[in-house]
Structures are given as C-alpha cells and as structure tokens.
C-alpha cells in the first residue's frame, strides 16, 4: 500500500506528539505531584454533612457569615455550590483586597469561573477547590457554574463586588 510521504510525516508527527503528551502527564503527576484537589488537613467535607451548621465552615449561617476577614485587606470565603446556586452568592470586599476562595459541592460536580480573572475551578463533592486572588479594580465580577449540572444550570451564578 502506498502512503504519501507527506501523510507519513504527518502521521509520525502525531504519534510523537501523543508520546510527548503522555510523558508530560506522567511527569506532572509523579514528579510535580499535580493531582485533583484534595481537602486541606482537618476539613470535613463529606458532601452529606458539609452543609450542616457546626460541622464545617460551609455550614455557617447565614451564608454571608462564610466571608471572614483575616486581617485588614485579607479575606477568605467558603462557598458551597449546590444545584443550582452558590451560597453565599454575593460577596463584597474593598478594592485592593486579597481573597481566598474555598469552594466545595454538596451534590454534583459544579464549576466556578470568575469573570475577568483567571479563576476557573472544577468543584467536586468531597473535595475543596482553593484559589487566591487580589482585586485592585472596583467593579462587579460575576461567577458562574461552567460544568453542566442539570436543568437549572444556567441560573447558577453569584457576584463578587469590589468597592
């Protein structure tokens, strides 16, 4: 069977690329320890009990109390994702603040993407997704669920207000 030389080259390049990617995945997992998000030490994030007041920071009531000021200009927030909302879904911080998001889910897989930033996380039941960012520009930043999670998926959003 005759295979054109160009096609052969292209085929070999594709196979080489797959091998390079496989090696890269192996190195990132085994050498750099890149893995799925895991719960930080001491956190109970059992999806069945995580929303129960007193069990975890995601159970704090009212949900607005899940925003904690650690120091002036330094915040952390525990956001619980569930079908089809985030709690809290309205977070207000002053401009120039650094904020760490701890996000978990009590039911299915959700997403967490914050507009105009590079914050983009998968939210997995039983795990904690964590990212820190500093917001210097005042404004309203929407966060949306970008993992399809059912019929109300498109209504799942919240807002970070930087004032």
Residues that bind Cu ion (CB under 5 A): 110, 145, 149, 156
Nearest approach in angstroms of CB 69 to Cu ion is 28
Q: Can you tell me the distance from the alpha carbon of 101 to that of 158, in angstroms, rounded to the nearest whole number?
A: 13
Residue with tokens 């000021």: 69
CB-nearer residue toward Cu ion: 81 or 93: 81
List of residues 6+ apart from 151 with CB closer than 8 A: none
Residue 144 corresponds to which tokens in the numbers above?
């949306």
CB-nearer residue toward Cu ion: 37 or 73: 37
Nearest approach in angstroms of CB 123 to Cu ion is 8
Q: 24: which DSSP letter?
A: H
Residue 57 corresponds to which tokens in the numbers above?
């920071």
CB-nearer residue toward Cu ion: 74 or 107: 107
Nearest approach in angstroms of CB 81 to Cu ion is 6
CB-nearer residue toward Cu ion: 156 or 160: 156
Nearest approach in angstroms of CB 146 to Cu ion is 8
The distance in angstroms from the start CA to the end CA of the chain is 69
Whether residue 107 contacts residue 47, with contact meaning beta carbons closer than 8 Å, is answered with yes
Residue with tokens 């985030």: 86
CA atoms within 13 A on the CB side of 127: 14
CB-nearer residue toward Cu ion: 106 or 110: 110
Nearest approach in angstroms of CB 47 to Cu ion is 14
């Amino acid at each position: 069977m005759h295979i054109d030389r160009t096609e052969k080259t292209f085929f070999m390049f594709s196979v080489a690329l797959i091998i390079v990617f496989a090696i890269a995945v192996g190195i990132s997992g085994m050498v750099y320890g890149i893995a799925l998000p895991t719960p930080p030490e001491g956190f109970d994030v059992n999806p069945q009990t995580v929303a129960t007041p007193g069990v975890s920071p995601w159970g704090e009531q009212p949900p607005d109390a899940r925003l904690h000021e650690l120091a002036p200009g330094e915040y952390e927030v525990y956001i619980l994702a569930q079908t089809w909302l985030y709690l809290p879904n309205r977070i207000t911080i002053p401009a120039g603040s650094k904020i760490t998001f701890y996000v978990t889910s009590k039911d299915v897989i959700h997403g967490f993407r914050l507009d105009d930033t590079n914050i983009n996380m998968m939210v997995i039941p039983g795990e904690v997704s964590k990212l820190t960012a500093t917001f210097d520009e005042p404004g309203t930043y929407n966060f949306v669920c970008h993992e399809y999670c059912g019929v109300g998926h498109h209504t799942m959003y919240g807002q970070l207000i930087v004032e």
